[in-house]
Amino acid sequence: GAVVSQHPSWVICKSGTSVKIECRSLDFQATTMFWYRQFPKQSLMLMATSNEGSKATYEQGVEKDKFLINHASLTLSTLTVTSAHPEDSSFYICSARGPEGGRNSPLHFGNGTRLTVT
């Protein structure tokens, strides 16, 4: 149980175009999902918290107009990188808190999306 599916696994796009990444909770409902970014050989940095039916909460330094997050249903959150530039190239990974609930419930992660902007 508690499977999170992320699509696509990798994408290459040209500078100036937009890319949408989907994150789905397959066997549970996720009112909250988290989007992380990971640069090569670095840790995971929280970008934003996606809330079903309301606006996302962005971390300091993350441009909300560049990284558009939509959480329209209890099982789907999307991250759109608008007007992508080479510096946006990174590994983006989504996660959701499992249905177990409670303080000790781990985050379940998608397999990540490797974005390369040329």
List residues near other proteins by CB under 8 A. 32, 34, 42-46, 49, 91, 93, 95, 97, 103-104, 106-112, 114
Task: Report the alpha-carbon distance of residue 113 to residue 110 in Å, rounded.
Answer: 9
Using a 10 angstrom Cβ sphere, with 0-12 exposed, 13-18 middle and 19 or more buried, the burial of residue 89 is middle
Task: Report the alpha-carbon distance of residue 57 to residue 48 in Å, rounded.
Answer: 5
Smallest separation, CB 44 to other proteins (Å): 5
Using a 10 angstrom Cβ sphere, with 0-12 exposed, 13-18 middle and 19 or more buried, the burial of residue 76 is middle
Smallest separation, CB 83 to other proteins (Å): 25
DSSP label at residue 54: S
Smallest separation, CB 1 to other proteins (Å): 13
Smallest separation, CB 107 to other proteins (Å): 6
Do residues 81 and 63 make contact, with C-beta atoms less than 8 angstroms apart?
A: no
